[in-house]
Amino acid sequence: MKYDHLLENKKRIHFIGIGGSGMCPLAEILMSEGFEISGSDMNEGETLDKIKGYGIPVYMGHKAENVKDAEVIVYSAAIKEDNPERAYAVEHNIPCIERSVMLGIVTRRYNRSIAVSGTHGKTSTTGMLTQILIGSGFDPSAIIGGKLPYIGGNSYVGQSDIIVCEACEYVDSFLQLTPYISIILNVDADHLDYFGTLENIKKSFNKFGKQTTNLLVLNGDDKNTMDSIADVDIQKITYGFNSTNDYYAENISADKGVHETFDLMHKGEKLCTIKLIVPGKHNIFNALAAAATAHYLGATPKEIAENLGKFGGVHRRFEILGKPCDITVADDFAHHPTELTATLKAAMNMGFKKVWAVFQPHTFSRTAMLLDDFAEALKIPDVAIISEILPVRETNTYGIYNTDLGAKVPNSKCIDTFEDITKYVCDNAQAGDLILTMGGGNVYMCANMILKELQSREQK
């Protein structure tokens, strides 16, 4: 790729927005390779504390003088062109690249890069695969989109030639990668503000498949995935529930929907029995993808079963925050109808008296384009609370509001603010219920508010 020689004869790299979940791991890996790293950010936080703990200088706020000594600048997608540090870099001819470009450069420094792609499940699957490989002694490096408790963060610097990373399709970011192995979990209609149609998304995954150098690991049960890579001439492994796949799940059972147990099969032969502690059929698919890849790399069935059995999830993926007043409070990143459906079906099978879904719609475009699908998903829980729509990068040119969604969901209530939502659910939830906040934005703050309020009531 054209930027691969960028780091030659360079020593000092500056990250604008270094506290971002995708930026911190890159800084960590490059520092381990001997580069001098600095960074800037607008907000304090856990990730920034970790970065500072390595002795990396971090400037609070963005100012031109922060980058005067830098030889390469990396900026996150959220950093605009008029950012003073980016503007200074351009003015003074300091090479300035977006995070996904640096991810491509870094991963190509490893002989065996594994990219986990797909519309849903990337973070969980990357976490599962990382945990199997570390637990099996492969010592990979890893870049994960969420915090994995097993490694105490979202990055790991190993000493082998393997790196595992997430590959996001939004704005074709993953086309900066040329992986040794690519996992495609599923292909679904999302990010339509950029892609426009499902057909364009499939074309993007097709290009991604063609940039893979050695192996594709594919969800053989997902028609969109198989259509996307039909003409890609490369070694392929399939997984799924159907026995026509190379790897498949048999004898699936669940204990109150919490422990998904299944036999991992490979071409008619039973490899092992896997007992997951993360709920939902979608996590069996994620586990199959991770297991197939790890087995290909040489992990034994025993190692795969043991390490998947210890996988407790990643941050914001059905993350149980506490159980004050015997009410379970959990938070989940689901922000697409397919994800909501999978998570809510799992929740409804877990034996709670009542499931309260607190949903924060994420972007006007996604809410407008997938309105009916969101409505169907939100009919699943006993009660759906819908907050106001989080704009993210958009203005409301669609004329869409949370009440438009609420009108299609009989069991719903539209409550705009986190404060009002907290009061309503805490006043009405009972012992034995689950309150599950859901969304790709800052709805986790609402989960924390609910938790705190219930803890306060419990103490009284």
Residue 343 a catalytic site member: no
- Report the interhelical angle of 281-297 vs 337-348 (nearest 10°): 110
Pairing of strands 434-438, 328-332: parallel
Give the position of tokens 């605009």.
Answer: 80
β-pairing verdict for 355-359 and 434-438:
parallel
- 193, 363 Cβ separation under 8 angstroms: yes
Q: Distance (Å, rounded) from C-alpha 317 to C-alpha 298?
A: 28
DSSP character at residue 145:
E
Unique residue bearing structure tokens 């993953």: 174
- Nearest CA to 361 among 402, 414, 412, 305? 402
Strand order through the sheet with 328-332: 319-322, 328-332, 434-438, 355-359, 383-386, 412-414
127, burial (CB in 10 Å: exposed 0-12, middle 13-18, buried 19+) = buried
Among 122, 147, 238, 293, the active-site one is 122
In a 10 Å sphere around its CB, with 0-12 CB exposed, 13-18 middle and 19+ buried, how is residue 155 labelled? buried
What's the sign of the alpha-carbon dihedral 340, 341, 346, 350?
positive
Q: How far is CA 63 from CA 16, 44, 179, in A?
A: 10, 16, 36
Cα torsion angle, 255, 256, 257, 259, sign:
negative
Catalytic-role residue among 107, 119, 123, 338: 123
Give the containing element (helix H, strand E) for 88: helix 84-91
From CA 165, how far away is CA 130, in angstroms rounded?
A: 9
- The SS3 of residue 230 is coil
What count of other Cβ atoms lies within 10 Å of the Cβ of residue 137?
9
Q: Is 123 a catalytic residue?
A: yes
CA distance 57 to 49: 11
CA distances from 6 to 17, 72, 97, 102, 420 (A): 20, 8, 10, 10, 51
DSSP E strand boundaries for 70-120: 72-75, 96-98, 112-117
Instruction: Give first-to-last CA distance, the chain, whole Å.
Output: 62
User: Could you say which of 166, 303, 339, 453 is catalytic?
Assistant: 166
Task: Report the alpha-carbon distance of residue 330 to residue 357 in Å, rounded.
Answer: 10
Q: Does residue 306 have an active-site annotation?
A: no
Residues labelled as active-site residues: 122-123, 166
